[in-house]
Structure 1
């Protein structure tokens, strides 16, 4: 049997029970369960605002768009971001005609505060921090830099569902934190996300933008009395970005188990750590920041022969991944080549090992054995 990088687990019967309520009620769209999920998410995280979306990519776009609108940024203004991320992080900046300025990464594969400060110019307006694999890296140093230079901070928390620092969910320091519930994330649904704005006004704007700019959603209109339910206005040119009650129903169930699931992920990571402990000459696990209780969405190692190792593992029915290719290698971001040497070097050497709830102790030992055998 093959060992995949990801293999999401769903509490099937519970999810179907929640979905059945939507079908019986005849309400599968915006409202009802999306509202319930938002409230449960706020209770779980401690965020004051939360809006359920059809993807984290939509959330990142909205974060950039609304901060640009509210702060009167101009086309061509700059946002500092990382080249080690999924492209949606940086696409969200381009969507709004802003320029991505790449800063290098540190040993955690997160933004290096020293290089971030070095890259700040008079046109810099914000920083996007990616908590890669669920790690916080030097996030709080980035928070301090943003305060020092009066920059907005967006947290791409796509991997960070359940991540805590000293017992607290991370992200309340940012103007916006965006979480992913995509199919293989730690809280998997079909695909969806959550955006949590610090300011209520931004949350209100976000809700209109996610429903085509309409200033009264369909669920709110069902409570209207009289004959004017259909009467609404358009405040913005918006998008179809909101989540629906079917997917929210899955999220409501999955949220109940996310801390238990993450604890098992950390157990898997500890098994890998133990197996590689005596092989530090050729296998270097990417460290987790001290005090960080990581969601452990990823377990990443650095090796000398990454591509060869990938091929050998595939031959043994083990299918790892790479998170991520240096974004400056893509044509549209090639202007950043050479500006982030650490990121470029590591992107040629990193490998994400299988990390999911279906893995057993024996699975981890088998993967570890083959990595040790073929790593150079």
Structure 2
């Protein structure tokens, strides 16, 4: 049987039970389950605000749009960001009329604080930190840099659902935190995300901008009295909000998140143990002290990444690549060659299968295949 990179696992009975409530109530859109999921997420993370959206990309787009407007940033003001991320992270900066400035990464695959510091100019307004694979990297150092230079911090936590740093969910230090509950993430739904602003006023603005700028959503208008149909339009917005059917899946999955992540860490530990004898041919990704990673990804770097990928495919094992250095894309070619660590990682990184249906035997099969290739 083929060993896939990602295979989501759902609590099917509880998912169906939560969805059934939506259908019986006749409320499948925003509100009802979306509100319940927001409250549960705030309890889980201890973040002050949470707004449920149709995707983490929508959350990123709203983040930069609202911060730019709220802090009076100008077109072409700069945001320091990482080249090692999915393109939605950096597209959100461009969509807001801001300029992505690429800093390099370190051996955690997250932003290197010394590179962040070196890229600060009088036009820098914010730093986007991406917790790749669930890793916190040197997040605390980046927080200090932002505090020293009065920069806003945006935490792209798309891979970090359940990650803890020194026992706490990171993000209280950030201006905004964005989570992904896309189909194969650690907390899987069909596709959705959560936008967690530090400031309540920004949360209010997000709820309006995500509903086409309307100042009352359909859920609040359902209990609005005789004039509940009246509303104003305060912004040019998008239709970004989430719906109750997909939120119902999130509610069913949330109680499993910590246990699921613990198993992911067990899988990573097995990979470490089995591949360690090849340490002279494999570069392992550093997980710093104090980081309890969600382990969305298990990544290694080897000299002939593409050859190994082909070899694994020939043996019905299907790894992935996360990610291509964004400065190699035409959109961001202005920064090509400025991040040598990211460029090297882009050519050598491989994500091995990582999901809850893997067994010890599956991990052993993958590891043995990797070792066979390296021995050739």
Aligned residue number for residue 153 of structure 2: 153
Q: Normalising by the residue count of structure 1, what TM-score does the alignment of the two structures yield?
A: 0.99
Aligned residue number for residue 214 of structure 1: 214
Aligned residue number for residue 70 of structure 1: 70
Q: What's the offset of the Cα at 1:166?
A: 1.4
Any conservation in 2 of the 1:302–1:350 contact (CA below 8 Å)? yes
Any conservation in 2 of the 1:208–1:216 contact (CA below 8 Å)? yes
Aligned residue number for residue 300 of structure 2: 301
Q: What's the offset of the Cα at 1:375?
A: 2.7
Name the stretch that deviates more: 166-175 or 177-186: 166-175
1:279-298 to structure 2, matched below 5 A, reads 279-298=278-297
Q: What's the offset of the Cα at 1:13?
A: 1.2
Aligned residue number for residue 172 of structure 1: 172
Aligned residue number for residue 20 of structure 1: 20
Partner SS, residue 279 of structure 2: coil
| CA distance in 1: counterparts of 2:243 and 2:374, whole angstroms | 45
| CA distance in 2: counterparts of 1:186 and 1:172, whole angstroms | 21
| CA distance in 2: counterparts of 1:101 and 1:15, whole angstroms | 42
Partner SS, residue 319 of structure 1: coil
Any conservation in 2 of the 1:304–1:375 contact (CA below 8 Å)? no
Q: What's the offset of the Cα at 1:285?
A: 1.8
CA deviation map 1:328-355 (0-9, x unaligned): 1100100010110110011101100000
Structure 1 residue 54 corresponds to structure 2 residue 54: yes
Aligned residue number for residue 137 of structure 1: 137
| CA distance in 2: counterparts of 1:13 and 1:60, whole angstroms | 32
Q: What's the offset of the Cα at 1:372?
A: 1.0
| CA distance in 2: counterparts of 1:211 and 1:57, whole angstroms | 15
Q: Normalising by the residue count of structure 2, what TM-score does the alignment of the two structures yield?
A: 0.99
Q: What's the offset of the Cα at 1:373?
A: 1.1
Q: What's the offset of the Cα at 1:204?
A: 0.7
| CA distance in 2: counterparts of 1:180 and 1:206, whole angstroms | 17
Q: What's the offset of the Cα at 1:162?
A: 0.1
CA deviation map 1:136-162 (0-9, x unaligned): 000110000001110000000000000
Aligned residue number for residue 364 of structure 1: 363
Aligned residue number for residue 188 of structure 1: 188
1:219-234 to structure 2, matched below 5 A, reads 219-226=219-226, 228-234=227-233
Q: What's the offset of the Cα at 1:97?
A: 1.1
Aligned residue number for residue 344 of structure 1: 343
| CA distance in 2: counterparts of 1:166 and 1:115, whole angstroms | 24
| CA distance in 2: counterparts of 1:40 and 1:375, whole angstroms | 46
How large is the Cα RMSD of the aligned pairs?
0.7
CA deviation map 1:174-207 (0-9, x unaligned): 0000000000000000000001111111111111
| CA distance in 2: counterparts of 1:152 and 1:122, whole angstroms | 14
Structure 1 unaligned spans of 5+: none
| CA distance in 2: counterparts of 1:287 and 1:340, whole angstroms | 19
| CA distance in 2: counterparts of 1:126 and 1:98, whole angstroms | 10
Aligned residue number for residue 10 of structure 2: 10
| CA distance in 1: counterparts of 2:248 and 2:345, whole angstroms | 39
Aligned residue number for residue 105 of structure 1: 105
Aligned residue number for residue 315 of structure 1: 314
Structure 2 unaligned spans of 5+: none
| CA distance in 1: counterparts of 2:11 and 2:344, whole angstroms | 40
Q: What's the offset of the Cα at 1:73?
A: 0.5
Aligned residue number for residue 373 of structure 2: 374
| CA distance in 2: counterparts of 1:146 and 1:184, whole angstroms | 32
1:233-272 to structure 2, matched below 5 A, reads 233-272=232-271
| CA distance in 2: counterparts of 1:88 and 1:261, whole angstroms | 26
